[in-house]
Structure 1
């Protein structure tokens, strides 16, 4: 799989799982919340259940803040595992999200992409206040941050992507979107027709069977090589 077409003006990124260690940070928060009970919980099953509730809630109308969605998803997940939920648990989770760190290769790779002349934006299913702490860890190279809060909608809907493109003043052909969330971003790419690079970090999340991203790599530091191969970066 190779990239082709015009050189993109913008590289847009999913945040959690792509740039920021979401699964790892989520489990760290859950370990704090569950304390001694965490030994009885299968981490992969807990995350999968949480993901399912989170995405179902994001699809509902009217739009809810991510702070509200994550609290409700956590409550439903804990109930599914027979665990007691307290409102303070949700505060532990949402408070931890902005402190979740980037993957080790991310800051240096973003710097290289910025120095190559690309503009960098994040499109994320979150609230402005929550993601601010994550963006502050990315080396000051992100030009724009576009959230579900701003768009009033979550991925994979067209609304959030159209809001992002309108905000950036570009068409879908002027960007490549880089993501690790095939169940959200690659579904949107299939439906809307924009180019993607899938960062396949080895989770159980898989792309839709009727869609293939333009490229697939195991981590963000492989992206500059793809862009050089396409003639977009020296």
Structure 2
């Protein structure tokens, strides 16, 4: 907020209203067009699906509600007490899910927030590069790069994941 010259002090009513407007809009953002059908396909293929979100429980709830009920678990930065790219969020997720690194394929759209953890923890990673201009970390290349999520089921099938 400071970068844009906007107040960030929650002490006055207008600031609280601005914060609520922002978080409500984030929570209402719809998924990309192919997401719900792809999640349905992945569930039909037997995958468990978890969102590891860099947000709070109440903010992500609106987004998850739009995903057709296909998400098995949501783990947030609020729950973990850490925000991406801090590895603690991913370590917390693994602990809560009770999975091994070999059982995880991390699918993400943000190289700078997610790839450092993939590199450091050693799990498989698929980057959904929607041509936003984001660039890879100089010291990490994901296992696969796709332009949309609907390419994931075929990738998994081809790699035996």
Q: TM-score, normalised by structure 1?
A: 0.64
* Runs of at least 4 residues off by over 4 Å: 83-86
Tell me which residue corresponds to 1:140: 69
2:56 is aligned with 1:110: no
Q: Residues of 1 paired with 2:128 and 2:100: CA distance?
A: 23
Q: Which has the higher contact order (CA 8 A, sep 6+)?
A: 1
Tell me which residue corresponds to 2:88: 159
Q: Residues of 2 paired with 1:216 and 1:175: CA distance?
A: 16
Which runs of 5 or more residues in structure 2 are unaligned? 9-13
Aligned Cα RMSD in Å? 1.4
2:5 is aligned with 1:76: no
Tell me which residue corresponds to 1:171: 100
Find the residue that maps to 2:139 and give its secondary structure. Answer: coil
Q: How does 1:87-98 map to 2 (within 5 A)?
A: 87=15, 88-98=17-27
Q: Residues of 2 paired with 1:106 and 1:154: CA distance?
A: 24
Report if the CA contact (8 A) 1:177-1:196 is conserved: yes
Report if the CA contact (8 A) 1:183-1:207 is conserved: yes
Tell me which residue corresponds to 1:202: 131
Q: How does 1:10-21 map to 2 (within 5 A)?
A: none
Which runs of 5 or more residues in structure 1 are unaligned? 1-74
Report if the CA contact (8 A) 1:179-1:199 is conserved: yes
Q: Residues of 2 paired with 1:187 and 1:207: CA distance?
A: 10
Figure out how many residues of one structure are paired with residues of the other and give that number. Answer: 155
Query: Deviation per CA, 1:36-57, whole angstroms, max 9, x where unpaired?
Result: xxxxxxxxxxxxxxxxxxxxxx
Q: TM-score, normalised by structure 2?
A: 0.91
Report if the CA contact (8 A) 1:110-1:141 is conserved: yes
Find the residue that maps to 2:50 and give its secondary structure. Answer: strand
How far off its partner does 1:84 sit?
7.3
